A and B are shown apart, each in its own frame.
Chain A
Amino acid sequence: NAGVTQTPKFQVLKTGQSMTLQCAQDMNHEYMSWYRQDPGMGLRLIHYSVGAGITDQGEVPNGYNVSRSTTEDFPLRLLSAAPSQTSVYFCASRFKASSYNEQFFGPGTRLTVL
């Protein structure tokens, strides 16, 4: 199993540009989520999904969209990038929605918005 994969590893955008961060998992996990990690702020939940076709907002959803058309894929879209979105983004998955389950993280995407 590849686990949770994310692409790209690094990205530089200009203010106002849009892009999609890709996330895929091959473990047949129901629950997938996106976090951003910033110094002094820790891991903050952006959006999550409890299954294909079902998504919901986390703590910091503004400026981001998600969709879950398949169990495997959970892309994160930045609609109009802003410098405040400079961060490290992690996709994560777990077998079921309950947080008792082990959460698997991808390697992260390091995004810089100029």
Chain B
Amino acid sequence: TQLLEQSPQFLSIQEGENLTVYCNSSSVFSSLQWYRQEPGEGPVLLVTVVTGGEVKKLKRLTFQFGDARKDSSLHITAAQPGDTGLYLCAGSYAGNNRKLIWGLGTSLAVNP
């Protein structure tokens, strides 16, 4: 059962454009992580959010955790070719903080 839905599944944009990708669930998460995976490599953690409404910034990337802790978004400003990759969200429940539930990811291509 897929409990974390990511959208869009694929995104191809030009360098300099802005974009937002989403991670949604009907369940409440105690924390949510965003990873980026480049071709031929393993995922790398970008951020962890734990508080409803929390906003974190990492250079041109802005992450937000929904107030109800059921959804999250990742906004990239002025995308660069180096932002190309698969963006994955993963959440954990309060009742089982060992287990990560993974989304299928958003595949982003930023064209020069």
Contacts and interface: CB of A to CB of B under 8 A. Distances in A.
Interface of A: 4, 31, 40-45, 48, 50, 90, 92, 97-100, 102-108
Contacts of B88: 42-43
The secondary structure that dominates the B interface is: strand
B42 A92 contact: yes
B87 to A, nearest CB: 12
Interface size class of B (residues with CB under 8 A): 20 to 34
Contact of A105 (B33, B44, B48, B50): B44
A62 B2 CA distance: 20
14 contacts: A4-B42, A42-B2, A43-B102, A45-B99, A99-B92, A99-B97, A99-B98, A99-B100, A100-B92, A100-B97, A103-B33, A106-B42, A107-B42, A108-B42
